[in-house]
Structure 1
């Protein structure tokens, strides 16, 4: 297949879950079709995927979202046998996500054996972080032997949102200091200077950083050691609780921010505390990212919570006036789609941007397969 021309490719974007594949077929920036394929078994998955692809029309290329590239893959890469095998080495780094991505790669390659495929990594965008931001202050032999460092995640979302933000404010991204708040079930912040990640809140795993739906964010490691030593809680129990029973779930009994906000507005004590803890961590994180940048030009909210919770956006801005952040109440309440919500007099531009990892994957696939050439997808 000739992929060297300047015509737009039809790219199948694959986001693999534990028992499903989310498929989206795009031609440049335009979504042509999408499908959700349930996978009960390999055989069932092949049949369901074949049926879905019949409706989607055969793509020219495939882009797979892969959570972890370890310290090896710091950019998108065309998948071959060697790459596929190497990706398996990172299962221990992302045991909840990497096996699903690998299963998706295997299944799609079986159904579309002649179609070139590209792995696009959530960790790759953060490969530009300097040692000051990526290094843990732990024994050197641990870091060197086991590759222990801060990797960061949500890179596809952060990369897209930062470029979209530059387009919205009408300035070259090379001149901007941007903090992107990706707030969803998982949540992270990213400090972006001149289009490159220089700091982020997630670390070696997606547990570090902000309070999330069911993950705690930052916890004193001594607390965890104490639990293991003194309570009878085992490693597996601890792991399960940190992944599924912490965060908003641990604070308010629900992982759903919409429910937390409703209960807080009704005066429920646990929900009020959950909201206060969430916003306290979020404000502190934004200020920390701005400090990494040496200032702030643009603040972006994206992800399910970032896009749909005006209360969170307003609460995050409260107390950040010293950075030049001020949200306009009417703009914030009325935001629909990509919108500017900052006060007209504020020195920091404040934006809501729809999360479009699919467009970032399309961009990376085209860059890998058409290195000489064509225009990347943009949005006006």
Structure 2
């Protein structure tokens, strides 16, 4: 998809209890406005609050100049593989996919309905986290489960953080002075949620998250990949219900479950104070990242660049360093001095003699959603 479409988009990320928003003019580097409405019980009221804020003379936004409203949607299933203009049928389709994303899609649908009511004369576009990964081969997205059961219940790898992986993989190619078709990139989106992608010639060929955002890398409060038999064991031996195990895996595990902190700044402080649990948590966290780097290196056969992005990837030099140490024989060599500190712009942190370039590239999912939404209606 071309990335040079120009226009102004209101980007909405509607959760079950919050609505994040940003107004993006694609001709400008910085957003015109951004914010969040929290403790949402009525999405219609939340959207109205946003309109009130953006409608003030000092907001820097002319609501009449909006070209499109772009909606971030976590789960698009197999039905939606590209940015899609929203009508009643599409809205119903997104609602039906709530069975695959019960924590996300219902909030998205409530936000879509409220926003369409408030902006009835502006096109609305759904941009799906899963869309970037619809290029995965059948072998990549298929689980070795009874195929009839998998087909009936939509059980397959979908992948998430697609807007981020797509954005930074293209930005990396641009920073290298190359066309995305000519580079193989491993992208590491490390935030409270975390995922890795193998992007070969601009196309996603594998991703660490699966049916849900629980799989893959260890995260702030999620387990990442874990033996599925742990579920059976906890149910039988500990008497835990499915809902209790779901909560344990998604909200009480990962860094938080291992050492009591989900924020890596707190984890580093605890390590400095001598915490064994914090040190172990960080070791498991970076070991998982290193494992996916090796896996995707083998899958693609060659790698031109590795990209760190999102809150942890952009700001935590210790995580970046420890995730890649020991991979020098693969031509992956990070420069400790270049790597030091937070990075607010695309920065090359690999050593001069590293075969694989290592980049830190700030993600901009809102801009990506704005660009895709404007392209969809152009």
Query: Could you state the TM-score of these two structures normalised by the residue count of structure 2?
Result: 0.93
Quick one: structure 1 residues 214 and 96, their matched pair in 2 at CA, closer, same or farther if it must change by over 3 Å?
A: same
1:356 equivalent in alignment to 2:357: no
- Please tell me whether the aligned partners of residues 335 and 341 of structure 1 are also in contact (alpha carbons under 8 angstroms): no
Tell me which residue corresponds to 1:3.
none
Tell me which residue corresponds to 2:35.
35
Name whichever of 44-53 and 206-215 sits farther off. 44-53
What does 1:48-197 align with in structure 2 at a 5 Å threshold? 48-55=49-56, 56-58=61-63, 59-197=66-204
Tell me which residue corresponds to 2:330.
323
CA distance in 2, matches of 1:21, 1:11: 16
Tell me which residue corresponds to 1:9.
7
CA distance in 2, matches of 1:355, 1:220: 31
Gaps of 5+ in 1: 1-5, 371-380
- Please tell me whether the aligned partners of residues 86 and 125 of structure 2 are also in contact (alpha carbons under 8 angstroms): yes
Q: CA deviation at 1:29?
A: 4.8
Tell me which residue corresponds to 1:23.
21
Name the SS of the counterpart of 1:218 in structure 2.
coil
Matched residue pairs, number?
Answer: 365
Gaps of 5+ in 2: none
Q: CA deviation at 1:185?
A: 0.4
CA distance in 2, matches of 1:29, 1:218: 41
Q: CA deviation at 1:12?
A: 0.8
- Please tell me whether the aligned partners of residues 188 and 200 of structure 1 are also in contact (alpha carbons under 8 angstroms): yes
CA distance in 1, matches of 2:44, 2:95: 22
Deviations 1:179-225 (A, max 9, x none): 00000000000000111100010001111001000000011011211
What does 1:232-311 align with in structure 2 at a 5 Å threshold? 232-311=239-318
CA distance in 2, matches of 1:267, 1:66: 42
Quick one: structure 1 residues 272 and 44, their matched pair in 2 at CA, closer, same or farther if it must change by over 3 Å?
A: same
Name the SS of the counterpart of 2:24 in structure 1.
strand
Deviations 1:111-163 (A, max 9, x none): 11111010000000000011221110011111121121000000000000000
Q: CA deviation at 1:36?
A: 2.0
- Please tell me whether the aligned partners of residues 5 and 371 of structure 2 are also in contact (alpha carbons under 8 angstroms): no
- Please tell me whether the aligned partners of residues 325 and 346 of structure 1 are also in contact (alpha carbons under 8 angstroms): yes
CA distance in 1, matches of 2:236, 2:269: 38
Q: Cα RMSD between the aligned structures?
A: 1.4
Quick one: structure 1 residues 291 and 336, their matched pair in 2 at CA, closer, same or farther if it must change by over 3 Å?
A: same
